[in-house]
Amino acid sequence: MTDLALADDNTPVVENADALSVVLCGTYRRDVVGLRRAAQQLSEAGCRLLSPVSLDFVAEEDGFVLAAHEVGEAPGAIEEKHLQAMRSADFVWLHCPAGYVGTSCNAQ
């Protein structure tokens, strides 16, 4: 599954309220195929992906990749939605191909 269903307010549509919710973090620019595979495997395991809502990235702004529904939104607003999803998720999955996590996941 590459895209999840979206409600009018761009929030994911919940199909199984009992499913564990997950957020994919890490690099979205390196190994997109692996990122999609992880999302697919999590979905097949019965998990509900809260963020990112779409893995079909169409643009990049200052090193920040954007899905079609995010074009025109400020990166900070997108990141805040992602952080909110992390706070409400049952767990976070870190995508780190070859150990690379990117600057947004590095501990300071």
CA atoms of 83 and 31, how far apart (whole Å): 22
Q: Is there a contact between 90 and 42 (Cβ–Cβ < 8 Å)?
A: no
Residues 6+ apart with CB under 8 A from 10: 53, 69
Residue type, 3: D
Domain layout of the chain by residue ranges: 21-99
Which residue is it, tokens 């920040």? 64
CA atoms of 41 and 63, how far apart (whole Å): 27
pTM as predicted: 0.75
- Render each residue's pLDDT in the chain as its tens digit; 108 residues: 333 454 555 444 445 557 899 999 988 888 889 999 999 999 999 999 999 999 999 998 877 889 999 999 988 899 899 999 999 999 999 988 888 876 666 544
CA atoms of 12 and 67, how far apart (whole Å): 14
